[in-house]
A and B are shown apart, each in its own frame.
Chain A
Amino acid sequence: NAGVMQNPRHLVRRRGQEARLRCSPMKGHSHVYWYRQLPEEGLKFMVYLQKENIIDESGMPKERFSAEFPKEGPSILRIQQVVRGDSAAYFCASSPLEQHTGELFFGEGSRLTVL
């Protein structure tokens, strides 16, 4: 059973471009969470999704950021018109249940660098 797969592992974008980060949860997992980790900082919750639904997006910046988890395919975190402050590691996690009741499985992250 493959773990949580994130791609790309590394992404370089120039200011103003778009970044798309993909996350394939573990097989059988219908709950996906995105976290961001700025350099030398802790993990910050961004968004919690179930298939075709956004459950909690309280950690998402109000502009330029969006997330989806379609019925088929991976979850996508999309950042439009990137700025240097978006440079960070973005981690996706999945669970078969709401995470407070059990283990959360994280991917290795996608590291975005904005030039």
Chain B
Amino acid sequence: DAKTTQPNSMESNEEEPVHLPCNHSTISGTDYIHWYRQLPSQGPEYVIHGLTSNVNNRMASLAIAEDRKSSTLILHRATLRDAAVYYCIRGGRYNQGGKLIFGQGTELSVKP
């Protein structure tokens, strides 16, 4: 049980920002929020993760709601290479033994 809810698919235009939502209403205080993506025929790739504060890295930003029941992955300027399935995962030492459980994810398509 992934215990996160994401839209099945989203579309974006190239060079526009993309906001990928995720609901995790039953998240515990020790669970991190992780985002991974999987390009076609490739292994999953780490994107970003956070606990309470918003996080930024070279790939994306992660905005975490104050109550931590939802989060949003932000791609600031989508490129064609960003077309992938994006997985939002909650994981923690005291939840599922520290392993990450992948759900169905959001399939992002990017139009030129």
Contact = CB atoms under 8 A, between A and B. Distances in A.
Contact of B97 (A55, A91, A101, A102): A55
Contacts of B93: 98, 100-101
Interface residues of B, number: 25
B104 interface: yes
Contacts of A106: 43-45
A48 B97 contact: yes
A4 B64 CA distance: 30
Contact of A100 (B43, B45, B46, B98): B98
B46 A104 contact: yes
A103 B36 CA distance: 9
Contacts of A44: 102
How many chain A residues sit at the interface, stated as a range, is 20 to 34
B52 to A, nearest CB: 14
Given A45-B99, A45-B101, A99 B91 contact: yes
10 contacts: A33-B100, A42-B102, A45-B101, A91-B43, A93-B44, A99-B98, A101-B93, A103-B49, A105-B46, A107-B43
Interface of B: 31-32, 34, 36, 38, 42-46, 49, 87, 91-93, 95, 97-105
